[in-house]
Amino acid sequence: MRIRPRLLVAAVLMVAVILSFWGLRRSHAVTQPIAFPHAVHVKEVGLECDACHPGVKSSFHAQLPGLSVCMECHEDKLSDNPEEQKVRELARLSPPPQFRKLFLFPNHVFYSHRRHVTVAKIPCETCHGTIAESSAPPGHPLVHISMQFCLDCHRQRGVTVDCIACHR
């Protein structure tokens, strides 16, 4: 049996692409500048996601907050939590450390927070899991977002699964 060189090259390239996307999703461990307790801010204080993440309801991308957002409430001491003092110390640095993205999508994937949150009224927990209940930032996404995850959700809601709707 003779293996065709083009077929072999195509197979190797396909495996490389699949492994690289799988690696993007699974291998990045994320650390944040502070141990932000979502549970305190969401469950106890009652903040909505867009209080700290602008764009959740109105834009393609939800933004990560800068420490200046934290300082709007934490300029003065509110608790004895050492992380609160750390916020004030880090906010004085120039430039202050930034929060890091937990979810990474390949460049060819188009995702709109506004379309999913505001138009489709999908709760944040659907894609972000129990982040609102966490006492510290997770190192990995709490929900594994994959193409199959998105396709299943689109099919359940009777929304298009046409490739060009999400791949551009």
Among 26, 138, 32, 41, smallest CA distance to 81 is for: 41
End-to-end C-alpha distance for the chain, whole angstroms: 39
Model confidence at 104, pLDDT cuts 50, 70, 90, reads: confident
Among 145, 144, 142, 136, smallest CA distance to 31 is for: 136
Percent of the chain with pLDDT over 90: 78
Q: Please indicate, yes or no, whether the overall pTM of this predicted structure exceeds 0.85.
A: no
Beta bridge partners of 167: 109
Kindly compute the dihedral angle of the four CA atoms of residues 122, 71, 35, 95, in this order, to the nearest 10 degrees. Answer: 110
Which single residue is written with the structure tokens 């993007």?
24
Residue 1 confidence (pLDDT) above 80: no
3-53: pLDDT as tens digits? 677 766 666 556 655 655 554 444 578 999 999 999 999 999 999 999 999
The C-alpha atoms of residue 158 and residue 156 are separated, in whole angstroms, by 6
